Chain A
Amino acid sequence: MSVDSIPFYRDRMESPSCLPPWGLYDWLEYAQAHQDPFGGRKLPGALPLVVVQLEGPSDPPLYLALGRQELRGWARAVTYLWRLWGVGPGQIIALYDYGSSPMVFLAHRRYTPHLQRGAADALGAKPICNDGLASMAPRMVEIFRYLRPQGLIVRAELVSPLAHACREMGVTPEEFLSFVVLTEAEGVPKAAVPWRVTTLKTWRADAAFFVAGECPLCRLFHVPPLYRLARHEDGTLLVSAPFGEIFPVVGYRLGPAHLEKPGCPRESSAWRLRPC
């Protein structure tokens, strides 16, 4: 599909062959100027199956429009990460984040209407989700106590209240967790966990349906093969998500990063990102 038909891209084109890269604030500005909840990025006339309000303080909020292909593509990217982290059949994976996070709503087909296969469905794992409020940390500890999940994917800002609740309630996550993944909506989280458990991070740009995951072996961020990466002349790394059908992503600025060639034994064909 040509991006000429998408108002946001069409209006930004400097010439028929030159589409400048864009970032979150460009989109926000366009949305505010045009009073369009989708900020001009939705294919005109297309009816999204799922609409997701983007995390962030923007007022009015921005929305992602997901058709079948967007749902499938983004979920496959999340599945790729779960596989990279070693998730397998029968494992229990605990999710501590809002249900509006793609790390949650793409985890299982039961979480999201019209999603055919989430990461847990694809890998035969069992997800359990806790709401992303800090005040829900004690409930997360109860999940730890009685389900002993092998993996935890947690909103980075919740690590501290969760660790506190674990101490208070006498639960030691090291006893059962094989890995913890820290995640946040934009970029790579800075937080760390106080447990002696393999700790990994995501690199997300929800506005671009983008998610990469830190590899437990090479410690770089493996990029699922669903995305196209390019280096802009100013050195910024740009991402496109060719799976987008009604809400295409072309030339989103990921920010400064080194792109490393494939070569990790864990997944030998993956291009990898190293944050600058």
Chain B
Amino acid sequence: MLKEGFWDEMDSWPRARLDRYWTRRIRRVLDVAYNSLPFYQRRFQQVGFSPSQFRSLDDLRRLPVTERGELLNALKQAGRYPIGIERGHEEVVLCVSSGTEGDVIFLSFPRQWADMERQATLRAHWWAGLRPGGPILISAPAWHIYALGQNLLARALPAQAVIVWGTYSPEFASHVLQAIRAFSPQFLGLFLPFVFSLVAEARRRGLGPSQAFQGVKNLMVVGAPITPALRRHLQELTGVERVVEAAGSSEGLLAVECEVGQGLHLVPEKSVVEVLDAATYDPIPAGQQGAVVITNTWPWGPLYIRYATGDLGVMYPGECPCGRPSPRIKVMGRRSHLLRVGQRSFLPYDVQQAMEEAVGLVGATFAVLWEGLAKGCLHLLVQEEGIDARAVRSRLKKALEDYLDVPVKVEWAPSLPMRWKGVPPVIRREEMGGR
């Protein structure tokens, strides 16, 4: 008998069994890489590694960490994709990463990749509260790996799929909102900024935000970490019972919160994750923030072995009260979004948390002015729309300076420029247009 919320028996395994499972699978991945993938053959040779040296997960440390820049260099040098990390050529679908940091990463997914992806996506969505019966709003455009996963999910459940015209950028919020109201899905997976686009669109139409989400029981948000206060705010705003955080990357990170909501469990079919010192890639204790490094556990498609995703995260110590053996992580933000002010550095998540804890400002859309950082000041641009600025206007600057211990300037803006993934964390003055 499975515990409520568990996907299968694997969710009840002891941790040692999960480690054995991962060890077996990674050994296979390393064998494939060693025997047939040129990029890794060179890399393994450089450090004198052979898969026979891999006996436990700790042996991953024998391998060097690969950074995104190294793969991009390999692509530039080759001048053509693929770059020698890909396995499988049957029924290939090619994808791109979102390219929010400028360069895109290509991925090729063969038929054999789909078996794993289906299982992983089912488990992740089950944890997040999706159950058979309702329609699934295909909430990612076809080019994105999440769309491929949702497709597998809808086939496997099976569920009706609703494809909304356009894409998940703010200008299409009206179309998505109307599809939600017409087909009443019980589960929604959305980029966090898009939730606010839907709320704004609902208000524009004279609807209460909770009317936009009527019937939705589980809302899975991805793309940015949420604070406990933001979770409560989202629940109150949308009227959705359960707001679940998930994190993922095209390269194979997938983690989802369980019912307990203390960290995101790794979905074991996809990757093993290490959180390492961001400068040296040495091991660090659980609970300490560091670089997120993944190793895929399925030997088909593009293989990422000890790959630094570019994220900063925290591994949770100990076992989760829910009983699932899979380790828990919280992805705090992109490394490239680290805001350096004098000797201190923050992620947008830290600023968000500071706003909440210092003055109770929850759910504010904000960005940091690049020119401010250049002068050693945390110059915040805070969007006025949707918040009661009067309540905090006079207190915010002082409270943040006390909380973060850096010079702060606060500027209120009627709106901030949106990108596909929401407002960028750092904006140059020229991007503000006419201000």
Contact = CB atoms under 8 A, between A and B. Distances in A.
A135 B420 CA distance: 9
Interface string A68-112: 000000000000000000000000100100111000110010111
Contact of A110 (B80, B81, B93, B159): B93
Contact of B175 (A48, A61, A127): A61
Interface stretch (B178-186, B250-258, B259-267): B178-186
Contacts, number: 143
A49 B94 contact: no
Given A110-B114, A111-B93, A113-B154, 15 more contacts: A50-B161, A51-B135, A53-B175, A59-B174, A98-B141, A99-B167, A100-B165, A126-B92, A127-B94, A129-B142, A131-B141, A133-B420, A139-B96, A139-B99, A147-B106
Given A127-B94, A130-B96, A131-B141, A146 B165 contact: no
A37 B182 CA distance: 7
Interface residues of A, number: 45
A92 B94 contact: yes
B283 interface: no
Contact of A139 (B81, B104, B158): B104
Given A98-B167, A126-B93, A147-B94, A49 B161 contact: yes
Interface in B410-435: 419-420
A128 B142 contact: no
Contacts of A121: 91
A142 interface: yes
A219 interface: no
* Tier of interface size on chain B: 35 or more
B93 A108 contact: yes
A108 B150 CA distance: 14
5 contacts: A55-B165, A59-B174, A99-B141, A99-B147, A147-B94
Contact of B163 (A95, A100, A136): A100
Nearest to B142: A99
B206 interface: no
A63 interface: yes
A133 B160 contact: no
B157 to A, nearest CB: 9
Nearest to B90: A124
A60 interface: yes
B165 A98 contact: yes
Nearest to A130: B143
Q: Which 9 A-B pairs have the closest CB atoms?
A: A99-B142, A113-B154, A128-B94, A99-B141, A129-B143, A113-B161, A53-B165, A146-B81, A37-B182
Nearest to A93: B94
B165 A142 contact: no
A98 B91 CA distance: 22
A135 B95 CA distance: 18
Given A50-B161, A100-B163, A142 B99 contact: yes
B399 interface: no
B169 to A, nearest CB: 7
Contacts of A147: 80-81, 94, 106
A60 B153 CA distance: 28
Interface in A1-60: 37, 47-56, 59-60
